[in-house]
Amino acid sequence: MTDLVVIQNDYSFIPLVNMVIDGLTSEHSKDAYKRALTGFLDWYKSSGQGEFNKASVLAYKARLVDSGLKPSTVNQRLSAIRKLATEANDNGILAADLASGIAKIKGVRMHGTRSGNWLSKERAQEVINSPDVTTLKGLRDRAILAILLGCGLRRSECASLQVGDIQQREGRWVIVDMTGKGRRVRSVPMPTWTKAAIDSWTARAGITTGNIFRQVRRGDHLTGIKSMTAHAIHDVVKTYAGEAAPHDLRRTFAKLCHKGGAALEQIQLTLGHSTIQTTERYLGIQQDLTDAPCDKLGLK
């Protein structure tokens, strides 16, 4: 069997990694796996590992843990490496016993449930108002922030949004038939202030069809018709809300909706979660035994 050190030094490495990435459906996951595999193979080459096997992956796992990465991050990178081993075995590059050993490596145990990060209502409002709307870029960035906070989209969903996706339904603006994570299709209601932010951007940029969010080059000019990437959406968020990532704005949307009295089932539908339990975990909802639903029955 060919060792991965050889793969790394010839062109067979590229299609192997591509096969790993092509097997994923989420653009976010594709980006994460690509970074994970690039990081692992850079370490693998520089550390002088003799063979791609369970021992070498365990050594890399220890390095990741010692570097202080979150368990979820370490586990994601290990998942990418396991998939790399599977593809290498399927293509006759790695022996079955070596691939099996790597597949059995356990992730880092996570204790409890992470509550995640979110912004207060006041901070969220500051973020929306931060861009300089006298510029084309500022109008675009405000529209991006408005749709992340106003509709709870994922950054990949924001990046792929089309003009034709926003339609009127039952007297309001709605993102119709959006395909999200797990290929689940949903429709997302849009607040009027989000639609106004999008209209200000598209009118100034002259966008009437196609991708809504596009790159703006230096000199405040539109670069073309191609959409922004999910990574570019991330950069916009970090510019105006340095303490938050795009997913934190999605969580902020959910938290503020819940605090405002929105029904849990409606939040679930808007976010595109597969179950109500997922939404409950997302919001960090815990059972309240002092003010329980049965206390509201009104029966004697």
Catalytic residue ranges: 154, 181, 247, 250, 273, 282
Q: Could you give the angle at which helices 71-90 and 13-22 cross, rounded to 10 degrees?
A: 120
Q: Minimal CA–CA distance to 236: which of 138, 166, 157?
A: 138
Q: How many CB atoms lie within 10 A of CB 235?
A: 12
Report d(CA 82, CA 85) in Å as an integer. 5
Count CA atoms closer than 13 A to 282's CA, side-chain side. Answer: 26
Torsion of CA 56, 61, 66, 68, to 10 degrees: 150
**Eight-state DSSP code of residue 198:** H
Shortest CA distance to 89 belongs to which of 5, 30, 1? 1
Sheet holding 166-169, edge to edge: 166-169, 172-179, 185-189
**One-character DSSP codes across 163-182:** GGGEEEETTEEEEEEEE-GG
